[in-house]
Amino acid sequence: MAQSSTKKRPRKSKAEQRAQSIEQILDAAEFLFSQNGLHGVTLRDVAKRVGIHTTLVHYYFNDKQHLFEEVFARRAGITSGRRMAALEEYEALVGDAPTVEGALHAFLDTDLDLYYEGGEPWMNYAAFCARVSNTPEGAELMDLHFDPVVLKLVEILRRALPNHSDEDIFWGYHFVTGAFMNTLARTGRIDRLSDGICHSDDFPEVKKRIARFMAAGFRAVIEPETQ
């Protein structure tokens, strides 16, 4: 009679265990910050969500500010890098004839796809960015991580809108990012207002409309006002 044998799973190395613990802490903090912001979360809250002692969170992260910055930075390079690549690819494709809508599609659709296709972790990060973008500590991190890709968008918009002033273009971007962050926040308000016709987490439906809607706004800025 053959003797069955079970293979023992190899033990994780200390480096692997450390990396896993850090990811669990970052995931928990990301969710909590997305719901309550920096000042509504304690390290004890994070530790409780992970199921570990608070001292372990302190071991990996000096303080809450350090943890907050690491949560922001963990995915920021991915989203900004993908958008920069999309904008550069768009530039190469259209040469000297960019359009506002084309530039906005490259900038906005790339992020909407990333968040939606990335599942819950990326949707949590989207909500986290939306919440903290309107705070001083969040705005500072936005400057640090996202200014290069935003300025690349502005550069393309300048070529697409030669008759617009820089003032118009920067205000236009301001309005775009306001609508975009409201979308990423997924508050559920549109669900209630529309009686379920629209859903705040339906990023594919947002993607169908947002670039076209915002492009029309850019163009309307220099058209004569009508009473």
Domains of the chain, residue spans: 75-220
Cβ atoms of residues 76 and 145 within 8 Å: yes
Q: Which residues of 126-141 are buried (b: 16+ CB within 10 A; e: fewer)?
A: bbbbbbbbeeeebeeb
Q: Rounded to the nearest 5 degrees, what angle is found at the Cα of 216, between the Cα atoms of 200 and 110?
A: 50
For domain 75-220, the CATH superfamily is Tetracycline Repressor, domain 2 (1.10.357.10)
- Kindly report, residue by residue over 83-131, the tens digit of the pLDDT: 999 999 999 999 999 999 999 999 999 999 999 999 999 999 999 999 9
- Kindly report, residue by residue over 32-76, the tens digit of the pLDDT: 999 999 999 999 999 999 999 999 999 999 999 999 999 999 999
- Kindly report, residue by residue over 169-188, the tens digit of the pLDDT: 999 999 999 999 999 999 99
Residue with tokens 């309307």: 220
Cβ atoms of residues 126 and 115 within 8 Å: yes
d(CA 215, CA 211): 6
